[in-house]
Structure 1
Amino acid sequence: MIPETRYAKTVDGVHIAYQVRGDGPVDLVYVMQYANNLEVVAEHPRAARFLDRIASFSRLILFDKRGTGLSDRRQTPDLEMRADDLRVVLDAVGSERAVLFGESEGGSLVAFFAAAHPQRVLALILFATLARYAWAPDYPFGMRRDEYEARRGALVSGWGTFDYVRGLVEEQAPSMAGDADYIRWWAKLQRHAASPAAALEFEDVWYGTDVRDVLGSVQAPTLVLSRTRSDGLSPARDLADRIPGAKYLEMPGFDQVPEAGNMDEVLDAAETFVQSIRAEETVINRALATVLFTDIVESTAKATGLGDAAWKDVVERHHRTVRAMIGRYRGREIDTAGDGFFATFDGPSRAVRCALAIVEALQAIGLPVRAGLHTGEVEAIDEKAGGIAVIIGARIGAMAGPSEVLVSSTVRDLVAGSGLVFEDRGEHQLKGVPGEWRLYAVALH
């Protein structure tokens, strides 16, 4: 089933057609060659299988570049304009950061985007991409001018025809040269992507593209994929060498189209890379923090004794007090449930003093609360906080008594010299946490 095609509108009023496939844990934008149409590309089984596989491990985002396919065909965009259109699509689907997977000239676009908008790019995958498309004395991988002029002439007379596409397939996807259905599909895709005149304009933009000067600014982890070229040159390796820290993988076969030949090699490499980036992000998203858990002691009994209306007033005053103290000591409220609060602090001393302030302020109005603290690596999960350090903090909080602030030995050791006084509460087992944990109560003022 073909996903619904939707439109994102650019600041200059152009409608960019896009689709979203799958619901995987990471956003991935696949940018194909310019001759594309979202609703025709998946008509061939190999192309459909290629896209379905990507959608199996990601939320796959596709779009037709302005001037082609189902997008408005008002003008032929330059590289900067296409990058702006990509950003508009990311905004439309609510993607803050995505893996960008570019094929051929689509790779030039995503590399440029990554250099210009590093905060929006989780990683780059480039397949059969060149840093420059025209030959130059310092770039022997490009196409010479006379060869390009011959290519232009062939395009004008043959665009979208079986014979013209058969020549392209023989050159770019030789393993599919004997497949008439594949050639007919590609020819149809051309006709539905652009007119001959529009295709010629895109070819001219393509031939003039040179992203060599921006590749050194790419910060995103990058995987450059290539198959062996029949001319023996290796422009993809040159591309990888220009991107800091890029990984290069060359696979056997002469097909320069990813769904041709052994597509599983390409897809396996892409999926493994995406998984490694996700694993790395999990580590990067961890930060040392002190977690604080508080709640009202015997809240159920108090609520029953006071009645709903009076208890509501108590809880509201409790919440105001706790939030005021968290703000005063520059903490961050992560979650609240019933009468319990969970907050994090970037300094253990401030976290302990916040807990003391909460306990003492509420004790003064006859409302005993308990607090537990621990310091460790906290993992950011969808703007929340998680990980074993959070579990330990919650378990310590549950063990505290009325109007007591209980901390782990880690917290006590980190605040040495702060003037805080602790009383040893001995070793304890924490539910679900291995080992014995020595806990300390903070002396109230």
Structure 2
Amino acid sequence: MDDMPETHYARSGEYHIAYQVIGRGPFDLVFIPGFVSSVEGGWENPQLAHFYRRLASFARVILFDKRGTGMSDPVPVRQFPTLEQRMDDVRAVMDAAGSRQAALVGVSEGGPLSLLFAASHPARTSAIVLIGAFARIAWAPDHPFGASLELHEGMLQRMEQRWGQGVLLTAFAPSLAGDAAARDAWARLQRRAASPSAAAAATRMAYEIDVRSVLPAVRVPTLILHRTGDRMVSVEHARYFARHMPGAKLLELPGVDHFFWVGDADAYLDHVQEFLTGERHVVETDRILASILFVDIVGSTEKAARLGDAGWHGLLDSFYSVARRQLERFRGHEVDSAGDGLFASFDGPARAVRCAAAIGSGVRLLGLEVRAGVHAGECEVIGTKIGGIAVHIGARVASHASPNEVLVSSTVKDLVAGSGMAFQDRGVHSLKGVPGQWHLYAATESN
């Protein structure tokens, strides 16, 4: 990517630790990742990149890969680094980046490391934010909400067999379970972040962590953020922090995803910004006229059941490949994708209609049928997302389309007058959740 931050290396003992510095805010923030990461690979994921940029909008952010992961030096898997050694990495990166003191944002396994560093180096720690973190992940008689050894070993087995293929996406991000594009992105990040052996070693090390005894010694301001439905790390871990850390603030948020960048990541970011700066993030919105396209695969559930997981994911990959080629051809912007379709925007309705038709033609060669809906209207643009009533109308129009049909609203039909496109009247319809009656038309081949 063109705006990839420059990667530097800090010396921590005999190891080189990869790090990046982004933003020019009034204070430093060290982002401490989970069990694996890649400072450069992470920027390939738009959602993860958005998270980093939001942090950099109010702080000078230091990103790094712990030794043994990402772009930092590898380590022997039988000698995977302890928390104490990784704490040395944090200090080395701060020194190399010229940071005397920083707020620490620790996610998942980065939480225990943040706590140990803060307790050991309070003068260098201004505050801590814990996101989806834990003090001890393993079950114990006095820690009943921890993960069982059987669950841990089963996860290790799956990782060693299928690492680099997007394994465990369902556990880390249930909301993306059927999203082939998200699985591909997670698979690429896995390969950039660690080898199978290194990922397994990091997971074993995480299972052995126990910093419960450290909690009373943490005296810096602490914010605990956790999603109540997190299936990987129970919210009970956050509640444990709150009970054992004097003065810590706990905020429970809705959601099921453990990945901090998935789901409503901006809710996390809003609370982080307010806690560290005292100011609430003000969302700046732009309103534009956009043409909205929704495309869905017909009979996706039945096809997935017939093909099985592997066959269905392969077919989805081919579907998205065809669709994205046509989006590029017609200058469309992919806003979101689901398990069996996509949502895109265009700066002109004719391109949206032609793109929908081209996608339909292309995927028929794969044995797929799609239904598509197009509407044009004023939309709110918030970051990389687009929303508003026009988006809801576009989705409802698509839901009325028949297989192999591109259905459009009367707004679209009127706007493309003179383009040579032909339409067939499909009558007046009520669109669920949208006021009024809507005249819909099917795009047909022009003469």
8 A Cα contact 1:7 1:18, kept in partner: yes
C-alpha displacement of 1:32 = 1.2
More divergent stretch after superposition (203-212 vs 30-39): 30-39
The equivalent position to 2:9 in structure 1, one of 3, 7, 10, is 7
1:249 alignment partner, SS class: strand
C-alpha displacement of 1:20 = 0.2
Please tell me whether residue 161 in structure 1 is matched to residue 162 in structure 2.
no
2:81 alignment partner, SS class: coil
C-alpha displacement of 1:229 = 2.5
Question: Deviation per CA, 1:372-417, whole angstroms, max 9, x where unpaired?
Answer: xxxxxxxxxxxxxxxxxxxxxxxxxxxxxxxxxxxxxxxxxxxxxx
Gaps of 5+ in 2: 280-447
Q: Which residue of 1 aligns with 2:174?
A: 174
Matches within 5 A, 1:117-136: 117-136=121-140
1:216 alignment partner, SS class: helix
Query: What is the TM-score with the length of structure 1 in the denominator?
Result: 0.60
* Residue 140 to residue 95, structure 1, CA distance change in 2 (3 Å): same
Question: Deviation per CA, 1:21-58, whole angstroms, max 9, x where unpaired?
Answer: 01011100111112211111110111111110000000
C-alpha displacement of 1:208 = 0.2
Q: Which residue of 2 aligns with 1:203?
A: 203
Q: Which residue of 1 aligns with 2:118?
A: 114
Q: Which residue of 2 aligns with 1:267?
A: 269
Question: Deviation per CA, 1:229-253, whole angstroms, max 9, x where unpaired?
Answer: 2667521111122211100000011
Q: Which residue of 1 aligns with 2:27?
A: 26
Q: Which residue of 1 aligns with 2:239?
A: 237
Query: What is the TM-score with the length of structure 2 in the denominator?
Result: 0.59
* Residue 188 to residue 267, structure 1, CA distance change in 2 (3 Å): same
Distance in 1 between the 2:64 and 2:224 partners?
Answer: 22
Please tell me whether residue 252 in structure 1 is matched to residue 246 in structure 2.
no
Distance in 1 between the 2:41 and 2:137 partners?
Answer: 27
8 A Cα contact 2:131 2:226, kept in partner: yes
Q: Which residue of 2 aligns with 1:393?
A: none
Distance in 2 between the 1:47 and 1:179 partners?
Answer: 16
Letter in 1 for 2:238: A
Gaps of 5+ in 1: 278-445
8 A Cα contact 1:44 1:182, kept in partner: no
Distance in 2 between the 1:176 and 1:69 partners?
Answer: 23
C-alpha displacement of 1:151 = 1.1
Higher CA-based Rg: 1
Q: Which residue of 2 aligns with 1:37?
A: 38
Letter in 1 for 2:139: W
Letter in 2 for 1:31: I
Q: Which residue of 1 aligns with 2:155?
A: 151
Please tell me whether residue 138 in structure 1 is matched to residue 142 in structure 2.
yes
8 A Cα contact 2:227 2:235, kept in partner: no
8 A Cα contact 2:105 2:128, kept in partner: yes
Q: Which residue of 1 aligns with 2:60?
A: 59
Q: Which residue of 2 aligns with 1:48?
A: 49
Please tell me whether residue 194 in structure 1 is matched to residue 194 in structure 2.
yes
The equivalent position to 2:89 in structure 1, one of 60, 85, 109, is 85
Letter in 1 for 2:264: N
* Residue 42 to residue 139, structure 1, CA distance change in 2 (3 Å): same
2:66 alignment partner, SS class: coil
Distance in 1 between the 2:266 and 2:49 partners?
Answer: 13
Q: Which residue of 2 aligns with 1:184?
A: 184
C-alpha displacement of 1:142 = 1.1
8 A Cα contact 2:31 2:106, kept in partner: yes
Aligned residue pair count: 273
Q: Which residue of 1 aligns with 2:392?
A: none
8 A Cα contact 1:126 1:223, kept in partner: yes
8 A Cα contact 1:141 1:233, kept in partner: no
8 A Cα contact 1:131 1:211, kept in partner: yes
Q: Which residue of 2 aligns with 1:219?
A: 219
RMSD: 1.6
Distance in 2 between the 1:6 and 1:78 partners?
Answer: 23
Distance in 1 between the 2:91 and 2:218 partners?
Answer: 17
Matches within 5 A, 1:374-385: none
2:256 alignment partner, SS class: coil
1:254 alignment partner, SS class: coil
C-alpha displacement of 1:177 = 2.2
C-alpha displacement of 1:176 = 2.2
Question: Deviation per CA, 1:316-369, whole angstroms, max 9, x where unpaired?
Answer: xxxxxxxxxxxxxxxxxxxxxxxxxxxxxxxxxxxxxxxxxxxxxxxxxxxxxx
Distance in 1 between the 2:85 and 2:238 partners?
Answer: 25
Distance in 2 between the 1:59 and 1:180 partners?
Answer: 34
1:149 alignment partner, SS class: helix
Letter in 2 for 1:194: A
The runs of 4+ residues in structure 1 deviating greater than 6 Å are: none
More divergent stretch after superposition (264-273 vs 34-43): 34-43
Q: Which residue of 2 aligns with 1:337?
A: none
